Structure 1
Amino acid sequence: MTKDELYNISFQLILHSGNARSSAMEAINEAKMENFDEAKRKITESDEELILAHKFQTKLIQGEARGERFDIPIILVHAQDHLMTAITLKELANEIIEVRQDMHHLTNN
């Protein structure tokens, strides 16, 4: 894998992870406003972006599995950090939405 390919993959990871994180935050905000259908739609957007990010991550893993060796640029480390943060935030957003839905049902029934 060339250095250019590593940088491209890194930037794609950052892009899609950032989009996933943003959608998860938007989902939390929608849940705050009791827009639960929109919150779930934002979670779906987050999931779709994470799938795209994982495809780029898989390219790296497959390359290494084929025996390719490459120096790991700091931008790739940064990209992986973005991905893990986005995954964690999306999981947390799901929990927050569920709690807010439960609170909504308890206070309105």
Structure 2
Amino acid sequence: MKDLELKSFEIISNVGTARSCYIEAISYAKKFDFKMAENLINDGIEAFNSGHKAHAGLIQMEANHEEFPFSLILMHAEDQLMSAEGFKIIANEFIDVYKRMKENDLK
């Protein structure tokens, strides 16, 4: 149980960082600072991948017939994982829109 909780918090921490990076990237894109936005997206991807790796490890353990009790913490971690992935998609779309605005000088 302890290992499951630790892995769950590892997921939550990493994907929370990723989601924050994605949101901050939108703020920089809004100011037309696309270099900083890109850096934040890349930082977010790195953090997300760490959380995803921890999640994949749990899936592999279960595939090896290790049983886990129901855990609200793990459910929350998976919810945060999916939320962060959605924010990445939205952030990239916003960045693209701000780039187009800048190209067309629409401020």
The TM tier, using the shorter chain, reads over 0.9
In the alignment, what sits opposite 1:100?
Answer: 98
Listed one character per residue, the Cα deviations across residues 23-76 of structure 1 (whole Å, up to 9, x for unaligned) are: 001100000111001001000001001110011001111001111111121011
Unmatched segments (≥5 aa) in structure 1: none
In the alignment, what sits opposite 1:69?
Answer: 67
Q: Quick one: distance in 1 between partners of 2:44 and 2:70?
A: 27
* Matching residue's letter, 2:91: A
Unmatched segments (≥5 aa) in structure 2: none
Instruction: Using structure 2 for the length normalisation, give the TM-score.
Output: 0.96
* Matching residue's letter, 1:107: D
Q: Quick one: distance in 2 between partners of 1:9 and 1:26?
A: 26
In the alignment, what sits opposite 1:33?
Answer: 31
Instruction: Using structure 1 for the length normalisation, give the TM-score.
Output: 0.94
Would you identify which runs of 4 or more consecutive aligned residues in structure 1 move more than 4 Å?
none
In the alignment, what sits opposite 1:8?
Answer: 6
SS at match of 2:2: helix
Q: Quick one: distance in 2 between partners of 1:106 and 1:56?
A: 42
